[in-house]
Amino acid sequence: MQTLKDKVAVVTGSGRGIGCAIAKKLASHGARVIVNDLDAAFAQQTVDEIRAAGGVAEAFVGSVVEESFGQRLVDKAIDCFGGLDIIINNAGYTWDGVIQKMSDEQWQAMLDVHITAPFRVLRAAANFIREASRQENQAGQDIYRKVVNISSTSGIMGNAGQANYSAAKAGIAGLTRALAKEWARYKVNVNSVAFGLISTRLTDEPATAEGMTEIDGHMVKIGTGGDARTRMLAAIPMGRAGTVEEAAGAVYLFCLPESNYISGQTVICGGGRP
């Protein structure tokens, strides 16, 4: 079913992992998607896969922490597809450490990518949304738009070694609730999905104990291996990590017309973990 037929969606960090699955999910239901990633090759790969499946997508390469990113992303959606209906603030990563060893740079990096970047995207979209809502109201059209901000169970319950990440993701809840009230008059539903353990390259056990990758100029460890992963799995009632497709499904629920009277909420997608 084309439940999102002709809707225009932007998904940050959608070249791989959860973001890629979200972009594909929305496109499979008729949305026209702007696929964003730091890496042009991965962004284009997602676009190619969407097109091969009969969907519509365009790539937009850039880092969400760049000051001009939000406006350029919004402009890209409007230039390519003539509007903007769905915003998914998904891009991010973790840079862990106990607080006594955490640098100011490490702290600020998580705030920049997980809370400042979504704020800038939403601020950039505000003028278009306000004007579009005014014109639609004058025409007697009943059109709803959707924002889904990606959070984490670390932002709800906290997590040792993630003071920076937990604080930033907790901030997403406040941003979501505030904007849900601010944009309700424009018929915009603003919600959040907090993921638990989802199986991606950043959470799966690395090939070596020293598995590292460069993200936004920072070298960060990837993977959750050994005892830590065992403990995480033991805390999940379903006894397993979620798949990226299941994560995308949770986001998709908030993009449907059936969610038009749901706003300001955070739903945990965590296999039964509270």
Residues that are catalytic: 165
Rg (CA), the chain: 18
Query: Across-strand partners of 221?
Result: 212
Name the phi and psi angles at 151, rounded to 5.
-115, -160
**CA 230 to chain centroid:** 26
Give the up-direction half-sphere exposure of residue 87: CA atoms within 13 A in the CB hemisphere: 33
Six token digits for residue 204: 């799966």
**Going by C-beta distance under 8 Å and a sequence separation of 6 or more, which residues neighbour residue 261?**
none
Q: How far is CA 66 from CA 1, 46, 123, 242, 251, in A?
A: 37, 22, 14, 31, 25
Query: Across-strand partners of 219?
Result: 214
